[in-house]
Amino acid sequence: MDVLTPRQRSHCMSRIRGKDTKPEMVLRRALWSADLRYRLHVRIPGRPDIVFIRARVAVFCDGCFWHGCPKHSVKPKTNSSFWSTKLAKNKARDEKVDAVLRAGGWTVMRFWEHEIEDDAARVARRVALAVRRSGRRKRGT
């Protein structure tokens, strides 16, 4: 049973941000510290959180709840039919966006919020490797 009224719950859920989330900010700081420069809010399919345009690398910082993390996702007990449909649609949309970007020549990287919070430097190293590899592919070396 939810301890909040539907109106209170609606207000709480409406306050959840889609941009500049804590995991995203942590990863952006780690990437900046690794001397990686990126773009934000680029208008390509899926609106990746972080984009390396020249290397064609798109990075998504996925929330464990919203994207169905196998390790941390919790199924809500109230309004469960709505939430199961909503979360399934989110996963399907993620897969479709990945396919569209890959078909367009992009390298797609998705990280769970707990991966970023646990070791942002490690995630930044993985992104840096992908950016370097992608850059080499473009130059043909």
Does any domain span residue 35?
yes
Is residue 90 in a domain? yes
Maximum C-alpha span of the chain: 60
The answer to whether residue 99 sits within a structural domain is yes
* Beta carbons of 101 and 45 less than 8 angstroms apart: yes
Beta strands in the chain (DSSP E): 50-52, 57-62, 107-112
CA distances from 132 to 21, 54, 57, 75, 78 (A): 26, 11, 10, 38, 46
4 found inside a domain: no
pLDDT digits (tens, 9 = 90+) for 10-66: 888 777 777 878 999 999 999 999 999 999 989 999 999 999 999 999 999 999 888
pLDDT digits (tens, 9 = 90+) for 106-134: 999 999 999 999 999 999 999 999 999 98
Residues 55, 131: contact at Cβ < 8 Å?
Answer: yes
For residue 125, the tally of other CB atoms under 10 A from its CB is 14
Kindly report the CATH number assigned to the domain that includes residue 61: 3.40.960.10
Q: Is residue 9 one of the residues assigned to a domain?
A: no
Question: 76 is in which domain, residue-wise?
Answer: 17-139
Residue 98 is assigned to a structural domain of this protein: yes
* Total of domains in the chain: 1
